[in-house]
Chain A
Amino acid sequence: MYEKYMVLKEDIQSVVVNGVGTGFTVKLRIPYYRGVCLSLVEDIQVKFNGRLFPKESLTFSVEGGTFSFAEMATMTQHRWEFGEKATVFVPLAGGIPLGMHRVEVTVAIRVSYMGGARPFTVAIDGVSPMGG
């Protein structure tokens, strides 16, 4: 289920501000069968054609607002709900270039009864600046 629905290709989009590509966004559903407090999101990483964007470089938006990962570590009231599409902004200068690309997303949720976080990765091929 998560392999198929955590990231959809059409949910990867360039972000253009005043005619300049500033990066791209990826919409993510949680790879876990319930929603969690943001403090339980242990890690998110995005790779664009193999180039790593660690969590410190990303921002994360859910219904409650847009946050950095440093902020999320202490957020126990705001939640990422089951099935909710969170938006992750990836600061790839210029946005998504022409051509077909590979985007890999890793999400690790801390699951108390499992004793910690297990990273879950999905790779999407054929990502283009036209979306999808």
Chain B
Amino acid sequence: MAIKRSVSFYSYQQAYYTGRKTLEELVAATAQVVGSPGVELIPEQMPVGEYPDPSDEAVETWKGWMAKYGTTPTCMDSFIDTMLYKDRFLTLKEQVGQMVRDLKLAKRLGFSVIRVLCPIRKEVVEASLDAAAKLDVKMGLEIHAPMTLRSRWTTEYMEMVRKSGSKHAGLVVDFGIFQLRPPRRALETAKGAGAKPEILDRICELQETHRPVAEMMAEIARMGGGDVERGVAMGLARSLYSEPDWMRDYAPYLFHCHGKFMEMDEDCRETGIDYETPIRVLKEIGYDGWISSEYEGQRLYAGAEEADEIEQVRRHHVMMRKLIGE
């Protein structure tokens, strides 16, 4: 068994939002252009029929696409709107209701894992364990910066999971926790806006050694930087780093990975996030789940120029094939 490649359709949000591509066209591009066997979906972003209760016909159509394009559903991304109403938070029971609703939808669409959004309380997952077991769909709490693999939120959640003995609760790791530098494009934009290259170099140096943003701010002030340099540092404020080795603590509980990326260069290298070390660690611990490309670089573009989402995802898969050793 080996690590398997997937694409989160989050990557294609601009193509879908603007109406340039339909869901089926994106499945086709994933199979034919990217060459990815796995598909991850946010059904509240690109619904199969209707969210949360698609018709049987819509589900059949979806399954038909999976068969036609030779793709497999990997992970479905769940949200829980705890602030559904203006004047109160949802109760635990109501939140569990939303979780179960998503577990059922995942089952119908053929997903074996759902991503649980990182701020969801462990009590909600705990109270959903029976439903997850009955449906045989796993719940993976997403470890997403600024959360780390060793945050108290993570360790307390994992304590609950271990104590429960359940095989249906675990983690989804977002590779944004392995970010070492700002994406190349962010640095170029800053240079274009007058940032001093030596200050940007210093920011990168501090980020690579996981220094806090407050220290970057002090350095920027000392070196005579201004708003542009401070903007680059602020862009890193939520990028709290996790050591890839920390994944070893949770080997049996790693259900899925989000291959978060911001920019793939012409040589198919991610310009800011480490992939080599985490993939090496995953191999060493025998991870045989999926890594879904999750492109988020659309926001680095302003004006007329736009990201080529499918090309970025294609490059990401060239890199993943190499690192996985396909």
Give A contacts to B, CB under 8 Å.
Answer: 1, 3, 5, 29, 33-37, 39-40, 42, 73-74, 76, 79, 81-83, 110-113, 116
Separation of A112 and B84 alpha carbons in the complex (Å): 8
Of the residues B46, B81, B117, B302, contact of A82 by C-beta under 8 Å:
B46
Of the residues B79, B80, B82, B84, contact of A39 by C-beta under 8 Å:
B84
Of the residues B13, B19, B83, contact of A112 by C-beta under 8 Å:
B83
Separation of A35 and B286 alpha carbons in the complex (Å): 37
**6 tightest Cβ-Cβ pairs between the two chains A and B:** A112-B83, A34-B44, A34-B45, A112-B82, A83-B17, A113-B119
State whether B45 touches A82 (Cβ < 8 A).
yes
A33 with B18, Cβ < 8 A, contacts A79-B51, A112-B81 known: no
State whether B85 touches A33 (Cβ < 8 A).
no
Mostly, the B contact residues are loop
A110 with B13, Cβ < 8 A, contacts A36-B81, A79-B51 known: no
State whether B81 touches A33 (Cβ < 8 A).
no
Contacts A113-B79, A113-B119 aside, 9 further interface pairs with beta carbons under 8 A come to A1-B14, A1-B17, A5-B17, A36-B81, A40-B81, A73-B86, A81-B47, A83-B18, A112-B119
Separation of A3 and B81 alpha carbons in the complex (Å): 25
A40 with B18, Cβ < 8 A, contacts A34-B45, A82-B44 known: no
Separation of A101 and B83 alpha carbons in the complex (Å): 37
State whether B19 touches A35 (Cβ < 8 A).
no
Nearest-Cβ distance from residue A54 to partner chain B, whole angstroms: 16
State whether B19 touches A83 (Cβ < 8 A).
yes
Separation of A40 and B82 alpha carbons in the complex (Å): 10
State whether B83 touches A35 (Cβ < 8 A).
no
Q: Which residues of A contact B19 (CB under 8 A)?
A: 83
Give B contacts to A, CB under 8 Å.
Answer: 10, 13-14, 16-19, 42, 44-47, 51, 79-86, 117-119, 298-299, 302
A76 with B13, Cβ < 8 A, contacts A81-B47, A82-B45 known: no
Nearest-Cβ distance from residue A116 to partner chain B, whole angstroms: 7
Across the two chains, which residue of chain A brings its CB closest to B89?
A112
Q: Which residues of A contact B46 (CB under 8 A)?
A: 82
Q: Which residues of A contact B79 (CB under 8 A)?
A: 34, 112-113
Separation of A81 and B45 alpha carbons in the complex (Å): 7
Nearest-Cβ distance from residue B81 to partner chain A, whole angstroms: 5
Q: Which residues of A contact B18 (CB under 8 A)?
A: 5, 83
State whether B16 touches A116 (Cβ < 8 A).
no
State whether A33 touches B83 (Cβ < 8 A).
no
Nearest-Cβ distance from residue A77 to partner chain B, whole angstroms: 10
State whether B42 touches A34 (Cβ < 8 A).
yes
Separation of A113 and B238 alpha carbons in the complex (Å): 15
State whether A113 touches B86 (Cβ < 8 A).
no
Nearest-Cβ distance from residue A39 to partner chain B, whole angstroms: 6
Across the two chains, which residue of chain A brings its CB closest to B120?
A113
Q: Which residues of A contact B119 (CB under 8 A)?
A: 112-113
Separation of A111 and B82 alpha carbons in the complex (Å): 9
Of the residues B47, B118, B299, contact of A35 by C-beta under 8 Å:
B47
List 28 contacting pairs A-B, 8 Å CB cutoff, sorted by A.
A1-B14, A1-B17, A1-B299, A29-B17, A33-B13, A33-B42, A34-B45, A35-B44, A35-B47, A36-B44, A37-B81, A39-B85, A39-B86, A40-B81, A82-B13, A82-B16, A82-B44, A82-B45, A82-B46, A83-B18, A110-B83, A110-B86, A111-B83, A112-B79, A112-B119, A113-B79, A113-B118, A113-B119
Separation of A112 and B119 alpha carbons in the complex (Å): 9
Nearest-Cβ distance from residue A37 to partner chain B, whole angstroms: 7
Nearest-Cβ distance from residue B227 to partner chain A, whole angstroms: 19
Nearest-Cβ distance from residue A11 to partner chain B, whole angstroms: 12
A33 with B86, Cβ < 8 A, contacts A1-B299, A82-B45, A83-B18 known: no
